[in-house]
Amino acid sequence: MIGQNPIFIPGPTNIPDSLRNAMNVQSTDHRAPDFVELFAPVLEDLKGIFKTKTAKTIIFPSSGTGGWEAAIENTLSPGDKVLIARYGMFSHRWIDLCQRFNLDVEIIECEWGTGAPADLFEQRLAKDKAHEIKAVLVTHNETATGVKSDIAGVRKAIDNAEHETLLFVDCVSSLASMDFKMDEWGVDIAISGSQKGFMLTAGLAILAISEKALTLGKSAKSTRTFFDFKDMLNANKNGGFPYTPPLQLIHGLSAALKIINDEGLENVFSRHYRLAQGVREAVSAWGLNLCAKSLDLYSDSISAIYVPTGFNSDELTNHAYDKYNVSFGVGLGEMAGKAFRIGHLGALTDVMVLSGLATIEMAMKDLNYPIELGSGVGAAQEYYRNSSNKVK
């Protein structure tokens, strides 16, 4: 096998050859002037992806989980109260991280397939007259269920409650794929990673931090060393790192930002919507259902799809891999065995997505799913034939 089939998991995503080549560089001196010339524009260009003019951007050698940890360490103290809703595997894991940091974690339990409950956040914050809740934590795009939450609605809820809490947002599987408006939505810390919309390998936690978060964080008492905002920002002022940087990945990120900006950020969003809608047309033609409960919750980077009663989604994804050498996302947490996931983010085209739909359709037919071979692919083809790739 030549091993060139695309993958359809929600990350890491397919890496364009141009980005693999951009990362294929010899080690150089990260304290030399030419590193500054590479690195400083990357930090500045990231602001455009977050849609912020005021926040500081920071890169840590890590994954998105390290970004979660950095956000907590630099702004909160043990015993601080935070408010978070659990509606998928990644909000669940963020809860676990906060509990390990000995925060007082107040959890709003939600049905998986729903999004961040802005109305319940508002009710709870309105009761918090002493402003004991220091931060509200929200997963923008819940990768386990294919649900996109309304961050603007959460900001409105905080404002309606007249609360001073910080707003932290996990945008790991949404940034550079779906619109994210840090300044407009009043986000205090946004956390992403290199391995999804940026089309690179895992290895970079990419954050944007508001001045409010930086100011309040000066009194935070959580221990931090590797993920210290202050150390990183002080080094960044001179275009450097407080320790050895992941040089090859920074070269890759520089090239990825150029690809995104050359396409045009709004066109990137339009392309992701278009690819996602083709997948949704296929799901409908198969007679299956998305985990996301309503249209407003549909993610443009990942679709989680329930299998029919009596079938096991893990058997389906295993069969697709074993017979056709193509990877799809397995069900996580409450979705285990019940749903499979199609990642449609990053370096993908309609032709590539059609190959994935054809593959999973063959796998379902092999396992005697009640579908008609060609139905999903045909529905997606009709949609792609009659839709535009560009913002009007």
Segments of the chain with pLDDT less than 50: 392
Q: Same domain for 188 and 277? A: no
d(CA 221, CA 207): 20
Residue 104 host element (H or E): strand 104-109
d(CA 70, CA 54): 19
Residue 2, domain member (yes or no): no
Q: Same domain for 84 and 128? A: yes
Q: Same domain for 221 and 276? A: no
Which domain CATH number covers 357?
3.90.1150.10
d(CA 100, CA 98): 5
Q: Same domain for 280 and 242? A: no
Give the model's pLDDT for residue 2.
63
Output the CA angle 77-80-86, nearest 5 degrees. Answer: 120
Q: Same domain for 222 and 126? A: yes
Q: Same domain for 328 and 256? A: no
Which domain CATH number covers 153?
3.40.640.10
Give the model's pLDDT for residue 4.
80
The 10s digit of each residue's pLDDT in 102-121 is: 999 999 999 999 999 999 99
Number of domains in the chain: 2
Residue 136 host element (H or E): strand 133-139
Q: Looking at the DSSP assignment, which residues form a beta bridge with residue 166?
A: 135
Q: What is the pTM of this model?
A: 0.96
Give the model's pLDDT for residue 388.
75
Range of the domain at 94: 17-262
Domain stops at, among 216, 238, 262: 262
Q: Same domain for 110 and 171? A: yes
Q: Same domain for 217 and 149? A: yes
Domain stops at, among 241, 262, 283: 262
Q: Same domain for 142 and 270? A: no
Domain stops at, among 232, 262, 292: 262
Residue 328, domain member (yes or no): yes
